[in-house]
Amino acid sequence: MVEHTDDGRYVVVDGRRWRATDPAIPEPDAAVLRRWLMAARRDVGTATRADDAAGESAARSRVQAAKAALGERGPAWWEQSDDERRARWTEGLRRAAQEGFGAAS
């Protein structure tokens, strides 16, 4: 079980706080964004092992975009309006769909 801070804004792993995924994202959409994130992370490893600097940079950019769409990076989701939050994750879903990760809803 993942431990959260009392305000729900962070998860705690081995005593370290990490920003939690925006809880307003519908679960099917969050699942698409997580699949996109995991694929990008795998691509970072593949590119790194192949000594492919351009591929690694592109994959790291996708990791950043996926984490921002999930609300884990960029502006804090709890400081955004509902419309800003929705725009953030729908843009992420659009980008994920362009890479073959179909929209869930």
* DSSP state letter for 34: H
Per-residue pLDDT for 12 more than 50?
A: yes
What is the overall mean pLDDT for the chain? 95
- Residue 1 confidence (pLDDT): 73
Enter the tokens of residue 81: 């309006």
Residue 105 confidence (pLDDT) above 80 = no
Global model pTM greater than 0.85: yes
Identify whether the C-beta of residue 36 lies closer than 8 Å to the C-beta of residue 86. Answer: no
Number of domains in the chain: 1
Beta-strand pair 10-13/16-19: antiparallel
Task: Note whether residue 103 is domain-resident.
Answer: no
| pLDDT score of 75 more than 60 | yes
Q: Decide if pLDDT at 103 tops 80.
A: no
Percent of the chain with pLDDT strictly greater than 90: 92
Structural domain for 61, as ranges: 22-98
Asked if residue 13 is part of any domain, the answer here is no
| C-alpha distance from residue 65 to each of 41, 70, 93 (Å) | 12, 9, 10
Does residue 1 lie in a domain region?
no
From residue 13, alpha-carbon distances to 5, 6, 20, 64 in Å are 11, 14, 11, 20
Answer whether residue 40 is part of any domain: yes
